[in-house]
Structure 1
Amino acid sequence: MLTGKHLKRLGGDGSLSSIVPYDLPLQWSLAIHKHPATVDGFVYMSRHLNTEEAVVLFDRALGKLTAKSPYKEFQDYPGSLRVLREFNVLSY
Structure 2
Amino acid sequence: MEFGRIHRLTFPDPLGFGKNPTRFSDPRRRVPDSRFGVLYLGSSLKVCFLETILRDDRDGVVGDVEVEEKELDDRLYAEVRVRDSLRLLDLTGDGPVRMGIPSDVLRGSQQALARKWSVAFYDHPAAIDGILYPSRLNGQTNLAIYDRSVLKLEPLRSHNLKRAPGMADLLDYFFVALI
Q: TM-score range by the shorter chain?
A: 0.7 to 0.9
Among 28, 32, 35, the alignment partner of 2:124 is: 35
Unaligned runs of 5+ in 1: none
Structure 2 counterpart of 1:15? 104
CA contact (8 A) 2:104 2:113 kept: no
Structure 2 counterpart of 1:80? 167
How far has the Cα of 1:87 moved from its partner? 5.1
**Percent identity for Structure 1 against Structure 2:** 28
Pick the structure with more strand per residue.
Answer: 2
Per the normalisation by structure 1, the TM-score is: 0.75
User: Which structure ranks higher in relative contact order (CA pairs < 8 Å, sequence separation ≥ 6)?
Assistant: 2
Structure 1 counterpart of 2:21? none
Unaligned runs of 5+ in 2: 1-89
CA contact (8 A) 1:44 1:54 kept: yes
Structure 1 counterpart of 2:142? 54
Q: 1:57 to 1:74 in 2, by over 3 A?
A: farther
Q: 1:12 to 1:84 in 2, by over 3 A?
A: farther
Equivalent residue of 1:66, what SS?
strand
- Report the RMSD for the aligned CA atoms in angstroms: 2.2
For 2:172 and 2:123, the matched residues in 1 are separated by: 37
Pick the structure with more helix per residue.
Answer: 1
Query: How many residues are aligned here?
Result: 88
Per the normalisation by structure 2, the TM-score is: 0.43
